[in-house]
């Protein structure tokens, strides 16, 4: 299992290698989708060092949003950095687990060409985990169990599609 920083860096590496731009909004939505895929396919979280919250414009991973918010809607041009407890030692976390890398790559391949705003719309429409937890005046945590249930249906439909193709 990775950390939010290591998952973010894996997406940023894929973005860099494919010359595709990745904004904060798109990164956060892709990480949410990857978490859902991991919960469904591997039956465990991809990361568990932060929650996913229901914000106005969809699911958000607060630590990642805040780390990259200075980019606004511009492409992210740096990696996520981990620090020690004294804020003295900086390092770029990387995913070690090959299963985690496969999940991130699956999410990337499915949505790399989808615009950030379209991803945002798809992750907070009616019937999504966000729609069941969002309250305009609270940043409620979206439970992993709810995310898993939603992505179990998605993965089943994806498998059916791939078998028929």
Instruction: Give domain limits for the chain.
Output: 4-164
The pLDDT tens digits of the residues spanning 31-90 come to 999 999 999 999 999 999 899 999 998 999 999 999 999 999 999 999 887 765 555 556
- At 116-150, the pLDDT tens digits run 999 999 999 999 999 999 999 898 999 999 999 99
Residue 25 pLDDT greater than 80, yes or no: yes
pLDDT at 162: 80
Cβ atoms of 8 and 82 within 8 Å: the answer is no
> Could you give the angle at which helices 24-41 and 4-17 cross, rounded to 10 degrees?
110
Find tokens 């940023």 and name the residue.
12
Q: How many CA atoms lie within 13 A of 101 on its CB side?
A: 7
Which residue in the block uniquely carries the two structure tokens 């992505």?
Answer: 151
């Amino acid at each position: 299992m990775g950390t939010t920083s290591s998952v973010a860096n894996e997406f940023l590496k894929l973005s860099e290698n494919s010359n595709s731009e990745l904004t904060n909004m798109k990164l956060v939505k892709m990480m949410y989708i990857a978490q859902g895929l991991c919960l469904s396919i591997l039956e465990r979280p991809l990361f568990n060092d932060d929650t996913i919250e229901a914000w106005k414009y969809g699911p958000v991973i607060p630590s990642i949003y805040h780390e990259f918010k200075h980019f606004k809607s511009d492409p992210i041009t740096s990696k996520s950095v981990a620090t020690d407890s004294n804020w003295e030692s900086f390092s770029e976390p990387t995913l070690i687990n090959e299963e985690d890398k496969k999940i991130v790559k699956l999410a990337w391949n499915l949505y790399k060409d989808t615009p950030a705003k379209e991803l945002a719309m798809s992750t907070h429409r009616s019937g999504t985990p966000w729609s069941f937890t969002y309250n305009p005046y609270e940043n409620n945590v979206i439970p992993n169990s709810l995310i898993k249930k939603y992505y179990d249906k998605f993965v089943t439909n994806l498998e059916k599609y791939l078998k028929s193709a």
